[in-house]
Amino acid sequence: MKKIQFQQGNSLWKDARQRLYRNKAAMAALFFLVFMVLACFLLPLFPFIENPNATNLDNIAAPCSWEHPFGTDQLGRDLLARVLYGGRISLLVGLVATLVALMIGLLYGLISGYIGGKTDALMMRTVDVLFALPFIVLVIVFSLSIEEPSRELTESVITWTGWSRESVAPILGLVPLFIAIGALGWLTLARIVRTQTMEIKSLEYVQAARSLGLGHLRILFKHIAPNLLGTVVVYTTLAVPGIMLTESTLSFIGLGVKAPNSSWGTLIKEGADRMEVSPELLIFPSLFFCLTLLALNFLGDGLRDAIDPKTAKD
């Protein structure tokens, strides 16, 4: 008797991974982002990368050389070191603020879409009101209002841990920026999650879970939330560039990263002020910043097409 062999099917995530692997632009963007993260976070640990805030008035505005591959700025600081350290701050702002927005928007959208009715209407009208307000102005006001508590937090951490101010202040000084951008950047995700939740809660398996007497929290976080993972992943990769751009805008107008620390936004501002004298001060930070944003957008498009092939362009 002939033995029947069954072919094992692929899971949804395995198919999505295979589609992503076939997208050359998305994979190239992924490799570039990995390289950029490693360069910004690991290269400054090596001794050949100078202190980005160390001034050298004898070597002001030096051209590109073996000693200074990107040249030096108007205070003799190594531009390569400042670009790498600035990339570290810009990437941290993008990732941390996106995670803050992700947690708020996901929870808000889940509750609104699942409960429905008057509660949903009230929650969505609140989102509409916040959408009507100028985002940048709100971020500026919010970040300035929590600047003093952040300064007190920095002093407390230095006192408790005994760490140097130079190692603590650059990161903790960005806490107002993290919270301000993240706490006000969740509105779009909340709408997306709410719409997806309203569609999923009417499906048969959710109705079956209700008929079995499962609690609302279990249904919400075990049966509905996992099915939003694809949407959340795609939104995250597309939201990081926008948040990084917001941080750069705030730093450009002097309300972001404080001197002598730098982000790509502050470096672009400094380069724009001296572009006629030293164009490399503008070219290198802008090149790193633009390529990173481009890679994030390519990766986001690739993930969207891989997870939901119906949205892929012909």
H helices of the chain, in order, are 12-22, 24-42, 79-115, 117-132, 135-145, 147-161, 165-172, 175-184, 187-200, 204-211, 216-218, 229-252, 264-273, 280-307
Question: Which residues does 113 contact at the CB level (< 8 Å), separation at least 6?
Answer: 120, 193, 194, 195, 196, 197, 198, 201
Q: What is the mean pLDDT of residues 267-280?
A: 83
pLDDT at 170: 63
Quote the tokens at residue 79.
């531009």
Q: pTM above the 0.85 mark?
A: no
For residue 6, pLDDT beyond 50: no
- Percentage, residues of the chain above pLDDT 70: 85
Residue with tokens 């939003």: 228
For residue 32, pLDDT beyond 90: yes
Identify the sign of the CA torsion 50, 292, 144, 173.
negative
The residue ranking higher by pLDDT, 173 or 295, is 295
Band (pLDDT 50/70/90 cuts) for residue 212 is confident
Across the chain, what does the average pLDDT equal? 80
Dist CA 155 CA 96 (whole Å): 21
Highest mean pLDDT among 197-201, 269-273, 301-305 belongs to: 197-201
Lowest mean pLDDT among 110-119, 122-131, 241-250: 241-250
CB atoms under 10 Å from CB of 93, counted, come to 28
CA-closest candidate to residue 186, choices 127, 134, 273, 145: 127
- Percentage, residues of the chain above pLDDT 90: 8
* CA distances, 148 to each of 91, 145, 176, 249, 292 (Å): 24, 7, 9, 22, 32
For residue 1, pLDDT beyond 50: no
Instruction: State yes or no: cis peptide before 260, omega within 30 of 0.
Output: yes
Band (pLDDT 50/70/90 cuts) for residue 214 is confident
At 224, phi and psi to the nearest 5?
-100, -50
For residue 35, pLDDT beyond 90: yes
Measured at the CA of 172, the angle between CA 70 and CA 274, to 5 degrees, comes to: 30
Band (pLDDT 50/70/90 cuts) for residue 31 is very high
For residue 122, pLDDT beyond 90: yes
Band (pLDDT 50/70/90 cuts) for residue 165 is low
Highest mean pLDDT among 122-126, 151-155, 279-283 belongs to: 122-126
Q: What is the mean pLDDT of residues 34-47?
A: 87
User: How many residues are recorded in the chain?
Assistant: 314
The answer to whether 262 and 89 are in contact (CB under 8 A) is yes
Dist CA 105 CA 90 (whole Å): 22
How far, in whole angstroms, is CA 127 from its chain's centroid? 21
Question: Which residues does 274 contact at the CB level (< 8 Å), separation at least 6?
Answer: 74, 281, 282
For residue 314, pLDDT beyond 50: no
